[in-house]
Structure 1
Amino acid sequence: MTPLHDPAVRVFASDNYSGVHPDVLAAIAAANDGHQIAYGEDAYTARLQEVFAQHFGEGAQAFPVFNGTGANVVGLQSMLPRWGAVVSASTAHINVDEGGAPERVGGIKILSVPSPDGKLTPELVDREAWGWGDEHRAQPLVVSITQSTELGTLYTPAEIRALADHAHARGMRLHLDGARLSNAAAALDLPLREFTTDADVDVLSFGGTKNGAMLGEAVVVLNPSASEGLLFLRKLNMQLSSKMRFVSAQLIALLEGDLHLRNARHANAMARRLRTSIETGLAEGSIRGVGFTQPTQSNGVFATLPGSIADELRTTFRFYDWSGATGLADGEVEVRWMCSFDTTEADVDAFVAELARLTSR
């Protein structure tokens, strides 16, 4: 079949734009042999439980789903009664990028807190963690954080542990959106369990799609007492795959060896190369008018530049403006440049060269 795209066109818009890693495609093909019992009673999903236990500890339970929004909605629903609410950063994916699904589909009230770096602290949590027993207020019963955050920043294990202790002391639970959890593990150079299970996270979403999978995430229950009804909620929310072996096979391919880390390390390295190359250009004067709004700790670069330059640059390299940016100069925009497991050094260098050409005119 003739490709329906120009393979020479590269983008820095999202790590969802990337293709599927060849090893993952091979795993899908290998799983296509013969019949397997449907709806998760297959050998691949059974093996997946063992793989997740190796990474997150004995007792971890993985529930494969189709996508990240589904993982968050189903996971959070299992942690809350109907009157429950979730405290999150205002930039959290569950608050601004899921089409209202947690509230409209999940029936979950989101209590958002402004955060300059996308991270919560115990003090920020307390801005909305109040009113227990007040029948007029949705009850704040879960804290949800993202690792790495929507702004590309990272929590240390100690920071997550502090949030877990703070939440648990108030009778709340801790949820972690891990759409880019492997990028965090690669950046921190730590095992996955060190900033999840060992930091006392209760339930998390594990992401595969942004890191080389075709589709496939998982709700991972680390504390069984913090989650109820996932077996039913997954079906209720249309996230139960009949041919689940093909989702499980992808996650096994990523996690059974170190593919998830190799992919994430490469994406992170390309973001560092992009940031460093631009900083070098700024120092040498070949690039002008570009600034940075966040540290580059994983695979995203957040920058400011004149809107006219951004629009011209976008004719060659697709990327997004970052909505909600404040404190910008007249005519300036904040943008997000994302790198993927298949971003190449040549992609980065071509991007920087075009940025230099446009800004130095």
Structure 2
Amino acid sequence: MSGSRTVVRRRHDPESRGFASDNYAGAHPEVIEAVALANGGHQVAYGEDVYTEHLQTVIRSHFGARAQAYPVFSGTGANVVSLQAVTDRWGAVICADTAHIHVDECGAPERVGGLKLLPVPTDDGKLTPELIDREAFGWEDEHRATPQVVSLTQNTELGTVYTPDEVRAICEHAHQLGMVVHMDGARLANAAATLDVPLRAFTNVVGVDILSLGGTKNGMLGGEAVVVLNREAVGRMKHLRKLSMQLASKSRFVSAQLEALFGGDLWLRSARHANAMARRLYEGVREVPGVRVLYAVQANAVFAELPREVSERLQKRYRFYFWDEATGSVRWMCSWDTTEEDVDSFVAALRSEMAN
């Protein structure tokens, strides 16, 4: 068979940097290497491959001997499948009003998952037993969706972090009320790096039942996992994953990435670096007159308030998003590949624009 070889070109500037999202960053070289090593030859499809089998050993080293990982395509997919697995058709999920499942998933948990979200306003993105109680009622009321799950985001959408004791208190309270606890861990590694504790310290050890384990924001090419921590609380995950269109035929390539990230310390190295760059960014911008940092910087995000016209000029030089269009507040994200030079250049540009 004759023909010409496909010409592949780089179509972007590899030196381009921004502070819009940790999703903008490329994949870590160690992850790319793992995907390449998993290539070649044939492996059984749909998760029956040796990489997905070995992934279970990796996941159990972090989350206990009973943990079971189900690789999926995306964070939204992981959340929808997880919540479906622990709710009835009439079930509801209590979450913070800033939770990703509530504000950033286009209604997927409700429209695709077929459940009801019960958002609770918070000051810092974190739930407490007292805040949960605002929606934890009416279990026998057929006119109201039944609260069955509490969903936590670690770290939160506001960049704040739950301590192990805070998660334990929530889990104990939820379990006493007959509910299960889901954790959206899209940035779980960043929380562990901040707390300087193992991943298990604020998940299976303190009572979390099911986990959406993130990887894409921390250096993976693409893919996440649902991790079942409490098998008694969870329904038929295999069927739910397939039904929800989250079962990859070539699962070995998702599993190989997860192994590269969590099989050693890459997850921690990458998260620590992203957090350190956010701290450096915070230290720089807080000294700029007219800039107010809104929340504690505990992971890899900095939220700030500054004149809107300054943000709009700055956006022409660096990509980032307005967090609240009404107030003009912004979010600056750091990633595994953010450099000190990136941060310092951004701070200098901010100073310049504020001076103008």
Correspondence for 1:15:
22
Partner of 1:288: 289
Match of 2:333 among 329, 332, 338: 338
How many angstroms does 1:278 deviate by?
A: 1.7
Q: Which amino acid aligns with 2:334?
A: C
CA deviations 1:18-53 (Å, max 9, x no partner) are 000000000000000211100000000000000000
Report the alpha carbon displacement of residue 71 of structure 1 after superposing the two structures with TM.
Answer: 0.1
CA contact (8 A) 1:86 1:143 kept: yes
RMSD: 0.9
Q: Match for residue 319 of structure 2?
A: 318
| C-alpha distance in structure 1 between counterparts of 2:10 and 2:121, whole Å | 43
Structure 2: state its 5+ residue gaps. Answer: 1-7
Contact map agreement 1:9 1:316 (CA 8 A) in 2: no
Cα offsets for 1:282-309 (capped at 9, x unmatched): 2xxxx32100110000000000000000
Q: Report the Cα offset of residue 324 of structure 1.
A: 6.5
**One-letter code of the match for 2:47?**
G
Counterpart amino acid of residue 331 in structure 2: R
1:356 aligned partner? 351
CA distance in 1, matches of 2:107, 2:192: 29
For the 8 Å contact 1:74–1:237, the answer to whether it is kept is yes
Q: Could you tell me which residue of structure 1 aligns to residue 193 of structure 2? A: 186
Q: What TM-score does the superposition give when structure 2 sets the normalisation length?
A: 0.97
TM-score (norm. length: structure 1): 0.95
Corresponding residue for residue 152 of structure 2? 145
Which whole-Å CA distance do the structure 2 matches of 1:162 and 1:323 have between them?
A: 31
**1:65 maps to 2:72:** yes
Secondary structure of 1:346 counterpart: helix
Q: Give the Å deviation of 1:3.
A: 1.8
Count of matched residue pairs: 349
Matched, 1:163 2:170: yes
Counterpart secondary structure, 1:39: coil
Counterpart CA distance in 2 for 1:171 and 1:162 is 14
Percent of paired sites with the same residue: 62
1:29 counterpart = 2:36: yes
What is the CA–CA distance in structure 1 between the aligned matches of 2:242 and 2:49, rounded to whole Å? 17
- Runs of 4+ aligned structure 1 residues displaced above 6 Å come to none
Kept in 2, the 8 Å contact 1:267–1:340? The answer is: yes
The one-letter amino acid of 2:46's match is Y
Partner of 1:132: 139
Q: In structure 1, how many angstroms separate the alpha carbons of the residues matched to 2:274 and 2:301?
A: 9
Q: 1:90 aligns with which of 85, 94, 97?
A: 97
For structure 1, list consecutive stretches of 5 or more residues without a partner in the other structure: none
CA distance in 1, matches of 2:229, 2:325: 34
The CA deviation at 1:4 is: 1.1
Q: Which amino acid aligns with 2:33?
A: A
User: Cα distance, 1:2 vs. partner?
Assistant: 3.0
User: Whole-Å Cα distance in 1 between the matches of residues 316 and 15 of structure 2?
Assistant: 14
1:261-272 correspondence runs (5 A): 261-272=268-279
Q: Is the 8 A contact 1:205 1:220 kept in 2?
A: yes
Task: Determine the structure 1 residue equivalent to 2:3.
Answer: none
CA deviation vs aligned residue, 1:115-134 (integer Å, no higher than 9, x gap): 11000000100001100110
Q: Deviations over 1:131-169 (max 9, x none)?
A: 011000000010000000000000000000000000000
Find the residue that maps to 2:279 and give its secondary structure: helix
Q: Offset of 1:97 from its aligned partner?
A: 0.2
